[in-house]
């Protein structure tokens, strides 16, 4: 499996990204991911909230 680099995950819809890509975006922004974020939709909502 190919590695995913942070520079490669720009320009795509959040819904098309994998959960790990969403976590990488949050990590890059310095956001702590709460343990309550258990689904992909939770991560999408968090990315949009912290935009």
What is the pTM (predicted TM-score) of this model?
0.77
Domain boundaries, the chain: 6-49
Note whether 9 and 17 are within 8 A (CB): yes
Q: What is the pLDDT of residue 38?
A: 93
Residue 50 phi/psi, 5-degree rounding, is: -90, 15
Task: Say what the pLDDT of residue 8 is.
Answer: 67
Residue 3 has pLDDT above 80, yes or no: no
Give residue 2's pLDDT: 74
Measured between alpha carbons, how far is 44 from 40 in angstroms, rounded to an integer?
6
Per-residue model confidence as pLDDT tens digits over 5-46: 766 666 788 999 999 999 999 999 999 999 999 999 999 999
Phi-psi region of 30 (alpha: psi -120 to 50; beta: other; left: phi over 0): left
């Amino acid at each position: 499996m190919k590695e995913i680099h942070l520079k490669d995950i720009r320009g795509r819809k959040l819904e098309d990204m994998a959960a790990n890509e969403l976590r990488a975006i949050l990590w890059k922004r310095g956001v702590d991911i709460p343990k309550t974020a258990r689904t992909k939709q939770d991560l999408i909502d968090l990315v949009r909230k912290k935009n």
